[in-house]
Structure 1
Amino acid sequence: MALPTLTPEQRAEALEKAAAARTARRALLDEVRGGRASIASVLARSAVDPIVAKTKVEALIRAVPGYGPARATEMLNRVGIAENRRVAGLGAKQVSALISEMS
């Protein structure tokens, strides 16, 4: 399937929207890194915040102090969450398992 041809204005708008999403995602992960937001509170926001919903679970866990790539992957395997899963794709059991594992 070919990508649609965009006008220069549409392309500029799309680039601006993508940059804003990356900035918002970085701010979210900085909140988690700084201890201003817990995993439970971030997961609760996923129903109303599209930035949270589209964030990869692995990136969210790696933002928690003390969790690097290896520890995050091990924890995801333990609770049965695929490494490429996004927050919006988590089921209720996965969310509760993740919260209990991170507590």
Structure 2
Amino acid sequence: MSTIRTQLVNELNELHNIKKLVDSYEDYERVVKLIIAKERQLTELLSKQLNDSVPEYIDAIKDAKKATAAAKAAVKDIEKIEGYLVKAAKAIKALAFLLRLF
């Protein structure tokens, strides 16, 4: 991916240098054609950069969804544990009450 970025930077620098060369109408016409060709190359490179990045973003989104699901499951487990603790506390209170009776 960094090689594509390097290519993009190089192409942009070259495009900038080409624009500096315009001195006459003939040069202008020639430079315009060069610029159009460079812009096509840039478009292709940008497209490739985006296509290379998309799978990484998709993987990151999938990982985030998995983490969210795991967090939701953990919350449910914590709620279950809290429910068991409440029931255990009630049972202990009931046992303590019964022990006082005897």
Q: Which structure shows the higher helix fraction?
A: 2
Q: Answer yes or no: same fold by TM over 0.5.
A: no
Give TM-score, length-normalised by structure 1. 0.28
Based on CA coordinates, which of the two structures has the bigger radius of gyration? 2
User: TM-score if structure 2 supplies the norm length?
Assistant: 0.29
